[in-house]
Structure 1
């Protein structure tokens, strides 16, 4: 392993190359996700709502309920709440 200025160059190169490979994989996955959204849109689904659902499903149930409560409170304050 060669050191350049106290840095293990081979080790650094290894980290960089691993990150670059993962970035490529991530881009491929992002492209796949984009295609799925396009397919869903093509069959009539609302992609914007689908993204919201995915975001909500990632959340802890308590956090989601807290956000929904605050949202309802704000809507009421603005006279926009559904009764």
Structure 2
């Protein structure tokens, strides 16, 4: 009998390569930890912005706009203007 057929070995168990599966899971877990740490860092930056007198809600909007294509931003701004005029704003 081959003792290397344990789930810890590089062999397949039930059609699954255990080492590859473990590697994928561990990589995702590390990235989730990094994301959690980054989320905390971002929260700290927004707290810093707020304490400096900036409006965090507006900063979030600007960040969202910067992610979009310029044409998409222009289209949204045009529609917003049209809707405002339709409502007498």
> For 1:61, which of 70, 76, 81 is the aligned residue?
70
TM-score by length of 1: 0.91
Runs of 4+ in 1 over 6 A off after TM superposition: none
Gaps of 5+ in 2: 1-9
**Larger gyration radius, structure 1 or structure 2:** 2
Aligned alpha-carbon RMSD (Å) = 0.8
Give the aligned partner of residue 13 of structure 2.
4
1:40 aligns with 2:44: no
TM-score by length of 2: 0.85
Q: How many residues align?
A: 80
